[in-house]
Amino acid sequence: MDQEMSQGMLRLGRREFAAHEPVIMAIVNRTPDSFYDRGATFGDEPALARVEQAVAEGAAIIDVGGVKAGPGDEVSAAEEARRTVGFVAEVRRRHPDVVISVDTWRHEVGEAVCEAGADLLNDAWGGVDPKLAEVAARYGVGLVCTHAGGAEPRTRPHRVTYDDVVADVLRVTLGLAERAVGLGVPRESVLIDPGHDFGKNTRHSLEATRRLGEMVETGWPVLVSLSNKDFVGETLDRPVKERLIGTLATTAVSAWLGARVYRVHEVAETRQVLDMVATIAGHREPAVARRGLA
């Protein structure tokens, strides 16, 4: 399928995003033990300040998470809701037009945050709770359909193998996407995500990146969550706080291959990378053009 024809309108909340408009999703962790920020936005005021900064730097989506992805202390659905629901309501009040996403796999939490004003449910664990898509349909919100290799939430991959990792990614994400639409989720509000690091080793995540165009060619908008992940760290042998350059390189490749939404920690740096790639591709004009004209 021609990439120009495969890229359609993406609608989330009050926003519509054109075919070649890259979209930044800023991560706001409401957890005390995030792998990246170690609880820097666990408190309300730091988290709200993070939202203000992310929006100012060009994020169109705020992705709120109440449970860290990796192993750690047990977090009940009630505690996850306590960390996210009131915050979603306050972000909605302060930013009527921003797209609010919540990273959750639990339908109970999904229902509560949709009541509070969320526009998108980011199901990073691949439909482990099938009722979450039903909640998205009932509230008319968007849904991210992710490949997690059948892993249980908050577990790390162990000796995971695939005959063809991208074929499995396509099978799972397209199945989840079609199911969501069948339940009533608006087709233009469904995204697919290869799930870097989720149920994958580093070589799997690299192959999913290299072959991202195969996902783009399906016509579903592709979300990538690359920011400071282990596959970047292992590729370059860098600790978490030294993975920005590798993340941005992977972002540039993903943008060239046609990804639409980028879930990130560093918004300003990502914005520059995406603008540069879009301009090279001919989808954006340079901000200024003086050289050789005077």
Q: What is the dihedral of CA 251, 169, 107, 101, to 10 degrees?
A: 20
Question: From the centroid of its chain, how far is CA 161?
Answer: 24
- Two tokens, residue 64: 């709120």
Distance CA 14, CA 97 (A): 6
Name the active-site residue from 263, 284, 290, 291.
263
* The one-letter amino acid at 290: R
Known active-site residue 179? no
Tokens of 231: 């596959």
Amino acid at 103: D
| CB within 8 Å of 24: residues ≥ 6 apart | 58, 59, 60, 61, 261, 262, 264, 267, 270, 271, 274
State in Å, rounded, how far the first CA of the chain is from the last one: 43
Active-site entry in 68, 229, 243, 260: 229
Does residue 229 carry a catalytic annotation? yes
Rg, the chain, Cα only: 18
Beta bridge mates, 190: 143
The tokens 């390189």 sit on which residue? 249
Please give, one letter per residue, the 3-state secondary structure of 53-71. HHHHCCCCEEEEECCCCCC
Helix, strand, coil shares of the chain, percent, nearest 5, are 45, 15, 40
Active site amino acids? 229, 263
